[in-house]
């Protein structure tokens, strides 16, 4: 009788342990920014391994502070990405004029290009032709590379711990 | 004797279980949200046949609905709102055509943004100096940050410029711009039209959506440029600034020094920063505790040199 109980308890403990670790390691997330970099270490100073695109799915391997170690492109790349670049939602491309099924809520799925999008911006421009979008386009073009930032930090004798915890 | 040993084994197993549940589980799930724990529980229940899949879905959804906060606005939509807010700011101000200072504030600004709590936004952070002697700065949703020549003239060191930019990054990170949008307007725009998965909107929907968009943008502009954020939002941005400065290695005292300079420069009742911000004196008293007394930052000759070079014609 007691033997049976012991077996059940051990099985239950193992079950919880296995389901816990699987749920943690297998969690899928989506890139929620235009472009996000996977890095070799959990810091922006880490080497960039690959650039992921908006909507790309990643599988979470582990978490360290605000950084997630993920696997991307079907396991081809593994690297670190800041949690603010990811969402738990699946981001789907809206297609045609179909409406989303009633079962999906905005908590689970976000639609790329939904609501205020480029088309709305174009319509806004047509209504307000004098608004200076050209200045914003120029502003967005000015790019700063990670090596510029690293040089700036080194030469200025700064000591960033940013984003690590 | 045999039963004693069995009792001993039982006790050991129970002790193991207690340790496992009290120490291991929180460690494994420590950084997960309530959602995930519910998901795990629900999926276990579904897989063991305790509840049906539909019931499981319903339980997960209810928990998520409760856990849901703030506006249901995607980073992509925030980006488009921010671009238009920025474009409208550029209707009121001219860009300062000086590539050396613009490059400098962009490299410095990106360095600071990476040390903030929200380093990644849909379109990234971008900085621009405005050709105006007003003492002012703006942060459009999503990370477009504007600072006037007048405000830069108040900065006596790189740390002071960093304090200003980090304060604006604080507004972006806390989404203060988006929070200025009338809630009912946003709900109408995002639920009525926004849930439709149309890739290309028809003329009627597009027209309606664009009107909501115009209203939303004008809410942000009117708060940012005319009335200003609440004192608590300004305090949040100042607190973010102090944290970012410390993270990067600047002395947070730079923010206090900057506010002191502004206190002397701003004219009470003026139309710029004075109109939209609490008095520098009250802001200093709000962040004093967070800064503390110590100032451990190193003074770097190179930092000063590059600051002087960038600000030569400011």
**HEC per residue, chain B:** CHHHHHHHHHHHHHHHHHHHHHHHHHHHHCCCCHHHHHHHHHHHHHHCCCCCHHHHHHHHHHHHHHHCCCCCCCHHHHHHHHHHHHHHHHHHCCECCCHHHHHHHHHHHHHHHHCCCCCCCCCCCEEEEECCCCCCEEEECCCEEEEEHHHHHCCCCHHHHHHHHHHHHHHHHCCHHHHCCCHHHHHHHHHHHCCCCCCCCCHHHHHHHHHHHHHHHHHHHHHHHHHCCCHHHHHHHHHHHHHHHHHHCCCCHHHHHHHHHHHHHCCCCCCCHHHHCCCHHHHHHHHHHHHCCCCCCCCCHHHHHHHHHHCCCC
Residue B167: per-residue pLDDT: 96
Chain A nearest-CA residue for B191: A115
Residue B157: per-residue pLDDT: 93
Q: pLDDT exceeding 70 applies to what percent of chain B?
A: 70
- A33, A88, A139: residue with CB nearest B126: A139
The pTM of the whole model exceeds 0.80: no
Residue B13's pLDDT band, with cuts at 50, 70 and 90, is low
Provide mean pLDDT across the span B241-255: 93
Cα–Cα distance for residue pair B115/B241, rounded to 1 Å: 10
A-chain CB neighbours of B20 within 8 Å are 13, 16-17
Residue B10's pLDDT band, with cuts at 50, 70 and 90, is low
The answer to whether residues B304 and B158 touch, using CB atoms and an 8 Å cutoff, is: yes
pLDDT(B55) > 90: no
* Cross-chain Cβ contact A103/B108 below 8 Å: no
A-chain CB neighbours of B189 within 8 Å are 115-116
Provide mean pLDDT across the span A36-42: 96
Residue A76 DSSP SS3:
coil
Q: pLDDT exceeding 90 applies to what percent of chain B?
A: 44
Interchain CB contacts (distance < 8 Å): A and B: 238
Mean pLDDT of chain B: 78
Residue B198: per-residue pLDDT: 55
pLDDT(B261) > 90: no
Cα–Cα distance for residue pair B35/A59, rounded to 1 Å: 17
B-chain CB neighbours of A156 within 8 Å are 158, 300, 302-303, 306
pLDDT(B159) > 60: yes
pLDDT in tens, A91-123: 877 654 344 444 445 556 677 777 788 989 999
* Cross-chain Cβ contact A121/B84 below 8 Å: yes
- DSSP assigned state of A101: P
Decide which of A87 and B16 is more confident.
A87
A115: closest CA of chain B, how far (Å): 5
pLDDT(B249) > 90: yes
- DSSP assigned state of A126: H
pLDDT(B5) > 80: no
Residue A94: per-residue pLDDT: 61
pLDDT in tens, A115-137: 788 989 999 999 999 999 999 99
Residue B29's pLDDT band, with cuts at 50, 70 and 90, is very low
- B51 in reach of chain A (CB within 8 A): no
Q: Which of residues 60-79 of B touch A (CB under 8 A)?
A: 61, 64-65, 68, 72-77, 79
Decide which of B1 and B94 is more confident.
B94
Residue B209's pLDDT band, with cuts at 50, 70 and 90, is confident
Provide mean pLDDT across the span A66-77: 95
- A114, A135, A149: residue with CB nearest B90: A135
* Cross-chain Cβ contact B76/A112 below 8 Å: yes
* Cross-chain Cβ contact B126/A124 below 8 Å: no
Cα–Cα distance for residue pair B23/B28, rounded to 1 Å: 9
Decide which of B56 and A76 is more confident.
A76
Least confident residue range of A76-85, B83-92, B140-149, B202-211: B202-211
- DSSP assigned state of A85: G
Provide mean pLDDT across the span B176-199: 71
pLDDT(B70) > 50: no
């Amino acid at each position: 009788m007691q033997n049976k109980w012991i077996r059940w308890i051990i099985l239950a403990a193992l079950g919880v342990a296995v389901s816990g670790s699987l749920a943690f390691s297998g969690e899928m997330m989506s890139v929620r920014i235009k472009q996000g970099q996977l890095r070799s270490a959990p810091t922006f100073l880490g080497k960039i391994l690959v650039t992921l695109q908006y909507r790309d799915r990643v599988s979470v391997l582990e978490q360290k502070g605000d950084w997630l170690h993920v696997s991307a492109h079907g396991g081809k790349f593994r690297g670190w990405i800041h949690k603010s670049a990811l969402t738990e939602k699946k981001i789907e491309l809206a297609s045609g004029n179909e409406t989303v099924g009633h079962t999906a809520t905005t908590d689970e799925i976000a639609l790329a290009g939904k609501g205020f999008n480029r088309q709305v911006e174009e319509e806004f421009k047509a209504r307000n032709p004098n608004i200076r979008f050209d200045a914003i386009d120029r502003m967005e073009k000015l790019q700063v590379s990670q090596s510029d930032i690293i040089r700036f930090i080194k030469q200025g004798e700064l000591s960033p711990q940013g984003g690590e915890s | 004797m045999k039963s004693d040993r069995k009792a001993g084994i039982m006790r050991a197993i129970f002790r193991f279980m207690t340790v496992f549940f009290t120490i291991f589980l929180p460690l494994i799930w420590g950084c997960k949200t309530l959602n995930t724990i519910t998901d795990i529980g629900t999926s276990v229940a579904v897989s063991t046949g305790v509840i049906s899949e539909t019931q499981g879905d319903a339980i997960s959804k209810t928990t998520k609905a409760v856990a849901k906060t703030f506006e249901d606005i995607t980073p992509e939509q925030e980006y488009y709102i921010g671009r238009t807010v920025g474009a409208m700011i550029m209707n009121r101000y001219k860009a300062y055509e000086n590539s050396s200072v613009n490059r400098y504030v962009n490299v410095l600004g990106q360095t600071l943004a990476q040390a903030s709590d929200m380093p990644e936004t849909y379109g990234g952070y971008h900085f621009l100096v405005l050709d105006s002697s007003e003492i002012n700065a703006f942060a459009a949703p999503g990370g477009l940050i504007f600072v006037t020549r007048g405000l830069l003239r108040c900065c006596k060191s790189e740390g002071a410029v960093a304090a200003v930019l980090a304060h604006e990054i604080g507004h972006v990170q806390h989404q203060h711009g988006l929070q200025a949008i009338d809630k009912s307007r946003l709900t109408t725009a995002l639920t009525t039209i926004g849930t439709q998965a149309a890739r290309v909107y028809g003329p009627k929907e597009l027209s309606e959506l664009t009107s909501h968009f115009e209203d939303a943008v004008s809410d942000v502009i009117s708060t940012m440029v005319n009335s200003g954020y609440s004192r608590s939002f300004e305090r949040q941005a100042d607190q973010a600034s102090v944290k970012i400065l410390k993270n990067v290695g600047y002395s947070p005292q730079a923010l206090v020094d900057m506010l002191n300079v502004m206190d002397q420069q701003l004219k009470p009742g003026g139309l710029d920063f004075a109109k939209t911000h609490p008095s520098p004196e009250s802001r200093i008293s709000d962040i004093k505790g967070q800064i503390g007394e110590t100032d451990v930052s190193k003074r770097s000759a190179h930092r000063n040199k590059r600051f002087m070079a960038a600000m030569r014609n400011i």
